[in-house]
Chain A
């Protein structure tokens, strides 16, 4: 057994777009490379960044799978491709389905991290009729289990840590690796997502909240008001820190007039239209968590009456 003082990390890309890798490259202060070195994490392999030869990579994988080389952290980006017909051959590595390699690596890793919504819950290509038949590592949409099964525990006795987001916010990965590298526990909440990043809703911290408060709701793009009632914004029903830890350190989609598409949710990208809010009697079908519809309606009507002119001025 080769001993490693540093923690080792292997990054596997499966059915995905590389967007999570691109997103974590945007980590700032420290930058991603300094971050790994500060936490003493050795990146054994990242497909976009490593320069070892393919023969060295083959050798490395053999050693890891045989338990001769320690694997502390396995990060998986992209969903597990099961198609066609359960063969997994729509996504291969060295002629074999990549899901087989993933299964082997998951058995020897101390911690398994699902990076992004596709790896966590299935994401793109995970719906009935989608060719690739993608599933999440340990969860498929709302159902526990996924590829590894609901009883799976990593060598350290942990279930898969889900870091959804399309793409992942760099802070979500940073916060988890901060804890893992320091041997601190990662407290998981709903859907096995770490509370440290996923406890807040996207709505919290949105600069359009005052408009939301007074029901100043927009019907079209390019305005300053809230997008919850008509434009499909899922900020109040989606858990992520987009508006508390800003994207690229400067902004968020909702602040820039783009509705939250609920990309950290288990059912993203649900087949219903993105830019429309499903409603009942003019009120969103999906209300913020734990809210009583009758009280909500009463509150919204009164709030609209109380709305100050400075917020309403664009409304005819």
Chain B
């Protein structure tokens, strides 16, 4: 007789509140449901406000990627009005977004992921003392240093935009300010300081040298030669914890691309696209829809296009187990984030790692801490460009009342973020947001496909249900952000209004 239990695990060190409801049979997960336990109602807060207010409201959706939401909001308004920002504004926007993303990647890796290896779960592991020395929460030497460096990179955003988080310096038609040459050169120093720390401590070589490492073999050789780097330590711990084997979900990846070409802003230097079952395709936004078959909404239109997204609660929908909608791309469940961004952009090293080990928890998390190696190079390029073009116009548009609809697609630290806005006589008529965590942490769809990390949990061995470390590794490798899940909530009882079953 198989021993079957259902377990509800509140997962911390994610942004916001996340419960994972799992059924475990003989120590192996056989069913998994991802439950955001916090509903925030932001899309409704936006309705009826003047269009520009989205620049103030949407950054407040997420304290860790507020610039990203700002970029998406502005992108959507510019798209609706056919506005092209000037080159200097594009450079400063790129720098703002890159800095925020670099900060997020570093904080997630050091503060939210590596801390797990200092948990008592690993007290018999050969690396336990070393991991504790480097990554113990509040105390670890490397984590403390990494935290300081993230405050440095955020100074770049503050120099350009006033503060981080929650500023609104990016506006339709450009940016709100002209940093002085002194400020731009100070920003350049901050960027160079981060590069130098990242090269020495995380990579073990220069950004240029690292970009020449393209195969799994040369990467592993590099780690042996540079054993005292964060990526080498992570790889050793990951091997012990079997992160090479767990956490696979699919070979479907989505990236909206990032880093705009200042001279041709519609071009993204890290390209957009999708990979479906291993094959690259151009991104076709019209293939995105939200499936509400397992969500608590009126089932009149089970597959909704974002522009027409409606949010009509209906507790009688029989298969519903969440208020989260399930975004899909041409019927496919997509995963999004640093790994997707790298693979879609044709990154050679991550492609060969993915070819060899699949989209396991190790490769997914590694992609995150390797991404600054790419992003810092673009930051270096854009700050140099901004200094050389100092004095150029960075705003070209007067604010005008308008009607229209637009879509803003941006790569957040966690992956593809989309804002869909419809404006009528200057006021927001409808605003729909599809966040990266909506993609990665979605519920099942009409066809019965589980969301990306729900699926990654199936078959996972869970050695200690009081301390389900393996689940933590797998889900955290997606870097969940639940505060962004603007309309997610769990209501499980199909008969009685407002009776919630969360837990055993």
A91 at the interface (CB under 8 A from B): yes
What are 20 of the A-B contact pairs (CB < 8 Å)?
A16-B63, A17-B63, A18-B15, A19-B165, A19-B166, A25-B151, A48-B12, A49-B13, A81-B38, A81-B39, A90-B41, A94-B10, A132-B39, A220-B399, A248-B157, A251-B159, A257-B176, A258-B176, A261-B168, A274-B53
B154 at the interface (CB under 8 A from A): yes
Q: Are A253 and B53 interface neighbours, CB within 8 A? A: no
Interface of B toward A, CB cutoff 8 Å: 8-13, 15-17, 37-42, 44-45, 49-50, 52-53, 55-57, 60-64, 66, 107, 111-112, 115-116, 118-119, 121, 136-139, 143-144, 147-148, 150-151, 154-155, 157-169, 171, 173-179, 186, 393-395, 398-399, 466-467, 483, 489-491, 498, 500-503
Q: Are A33 and B157 interface neighbours, CB within 8 A? A: no
Measured CB to CB, the closest approach of chain A to B400, in angstroms, equals: 11
Q: Can you name the residue of chain A whose Cβ is closest to the Cβ of B426? A: A273
Measured CB to CB, the closest approach of chain B to A7, in angstroms, equals: 14
Measured CB to CB, the closest approach of chain B to A29, in angstroms, equals: 10
Interface of A toward B, CB cutoff 8 Å: 13, 15-23, 25-28, 31-34, 36-37, 43, 47-55, 57, 81, 83-85, 87, 89-95, 124-125, 127, 129-132, 166-167, 220-222, 224, 242, 246-258, 261, 263, 269, 271, 273-276
Q: Are A252 and B162 interface neighbours, CB within 8 A? A: yes
Q: Are B399 and A50 interface neighbours, CB within 8 A? A: no
Contact of A261 among B37, B39, B56, B151 (CB under 8 A): B56
Q: Are B63 and A256 interface neighbours, CB within 8 A? A: no
Contact of A273 among B53, B161, B394 (CB under 8 A): B53
Question: Which 3 A-B pairs rank lowest in CB-CB distance, beginning with the nearest?
Answer: A19-B63, A222-B395, A247-B163
Measured CB to CB, the closest approach of chain B to A81, in angstroms, equals: 8
Residues on A with beta carbons closer than 8 Å to the beta carbon of B16:
13, 18
Residues on B with beta carbons closer than 8 Å to the beta carbon of A43:
138
Residues on B with beta carbons closer than 8 Å to the beta carbon of A20:
63
Q: Can you name the residue of chain B whose Cβ is closest to the Cβ of A256? A: B162
Residues on A with beta carbons closer than 8 Å to the beta carbon of B498:
84-85, 87, 89
In the bound complex, what is the Cα–Cα distance between A219 and B115 (angstroms)? 49
Measured CB to CB, the closest approach of chain B to A5, in angstroms, equals: 17
Assuming A221-B174, A222-B177, is B162 touching A89 (CB within 8 A)? Answer: no
In the bound complex, what is the Cα–Cα distance between A253 and B168 (angstroms)? 8
Measured CB to CB, the closest approach of chain A to B297, in angstroms, equals: 14
Contact of B12 among A50, A95, A220 (CB under 8 A): A50
Q: Are A16 and B483 interface neighbours, CB within 8 A? A: yes
In the bound complex, what is the Cα–Cα distance between A131 and B313 (angstroms)? 12
Q: Can you name the residue of chain A whose Cβ is closest to the Cβ of B158? A: A248
Q: A16-B483, A124-B57 are in contact. List 9 more A-B contacts (CB 8 A).
A: A33-B147, A49-B111, A50-B13, A51-B118, A91-B39, A124-B42, A250-B155, A253-B163, A274-B56
